[in-house]
Amino acid sequence: MDFKLKNIPSQQGRIAIVTGANNGIGFETTLAMAKYGFKVVMACRNMKKAEKAKSAILQKSPDADLDILQLDLSDLNSVRAFAKNYKNNYSQLDVLINNAGVLIYSGKKNGAGIELQFATNHLGHFLLTNLLIDLMPDDTASRIVVLSSIAHKTAKIHFDDLNGENIDDAEAVYGQSKLANLMFADELNRQLKRSGKKMVVLAVHPGGSFSGLFEEMSKGVRYYMYRTLAPFILNSNSSAAKPSLFAALSPDVQGGEYFGPQGFNEFKGKVGIAKRSDYSKREDVAKRLWELSEELTGQPFIL
């Protein structure tokens, strides 16, 4: 797939939200979207970090049109407050990039007792999308982009143990949240198609990049990753943002597709159709996850 970012026309007059815009892949996505002319609403949980990131983007791209709105995806009340705040300030949303994410090894839970990765990566974005989708024009240029991960491939949705209490492998619990991201994108796309809507939902994964995601790893492992692995097999954060940008901007996509880098182990390389597990294609599981997510967020999805 030949994705030439430089061929994208100006997007002036359009609005995008990027969650987790202050760091890593979200920062680079925000910078690039702003360069294309989008007004970008940076949806961030930490205002100080968001202001710092905004200044850094403005240094690189002085014309960037950026706003910051507070959002903690692990807290459904914060998601509701964000949506209300957004609707008070803007009448339209053209691109929603569900980028923010956490990788937690320590089994933390949110205030409602839900495992923090599932709560943040999936449930928060599920509710956010539900509350904002009515602002999106019904047009193929309207995009919902959901970040999944290679880690989805070995995961399952443990409906009887969502918090992963009986799962020994901490990464499998992260994988479950990223599988939920992918299956949510698929199911939303199916439901929109059934309702005759034209807006486009796509999943992407960024490959592997050395971002803030690995902060809970021991310093030794991080040093090893940074010094030995990263330069050879991992993406830079700006390259890792390309699948998201492709999904947000390319006219050459179909709802329900899943994009990522095409190189060794899908860690880096040109953007193309990504590999997915057979389990991720199961519509019965996606439907059950959807119903559970509606129940856990207390908000039926009306399309």
Residue ranges in contact with ligand NAP by CB under 6 A: 19-20, 22-26, 45-46, 49, 71-74, 99-102, 120, 147, 149, 178, 205-206, 208-209, 211-213
CA distances 151 to 4, 102, 192, Å, are 28, 13, 26
The amino acid at residue 168 is D
CA 197: distance to chain centroid?
22
The amino acid at residue 251 is P
Question: Min. distance of Cβ 123 from ligand NAP in angstroms?
Answer: 11
Nearer to ligand NAP, 127 or 197 (CB): 127
Find, among 173, 176, 153, 157, the residue nearest to 275 by Cα.
153
Nearer to ligand NAP, 22 or 142 (CB): 22
Nearer to ligand NAP, 123 or 197 (CB): 123
Nearer to ligand NAP, 101 or 164 (CB): 101
Nearer to ligand NAP, 100 or 197 (CB): 100
Question: Min. distance of Cβ 187 from ligand NAP in angstroms?
Answer: 18
Other residues' Cβ atoms within 10 Å of the Cβ of residue 283: 11
Q: Is 174 an active-site residue? A: yes
CA 146: distance to chain centroid?
4
Nearer to ligand NAP, 104 or 136 (CB): 104
For 46, list phi and psi in degrees, rounded to 5: -115, 110
For 270, list phi and psi in degrees, rounded to 5: -65, 150
Rounded Cα distance between 78 and 68, Å, is 14
Rounded Cα distance between 215 and 166, Å, is 24
Question: Min. distance of Cβ 178 from ligand NAP in angstroms?
Answer: 6
Residue recorded with tokens 């209300």: 84
Rounded Cα distance between 157 and 122, Å, is 12
Rounded Cα distance between 222 and 93, Å, is 37
Residue recorded with tokens 């998601």: 79
Question: Min. distance of Cβ 284 from ligand NAP in angstroms?
Answer: 25
* Of 86, 174, 226, 279, catalytic: 174
Question: Min. distance of Cβ 216 from ligand NAP in angstroms?
Answer: 10
Other residues' Cβ atoms within 10 Å of the Cβ of residue 49: 17
Question: Min. distance of Cβ 269 from ligand NAP in angstroms?
Answer: 14
Q: What are the structure tokens assigned to 27, written together? A: 């920062």
Catalytic residue numbers? 174
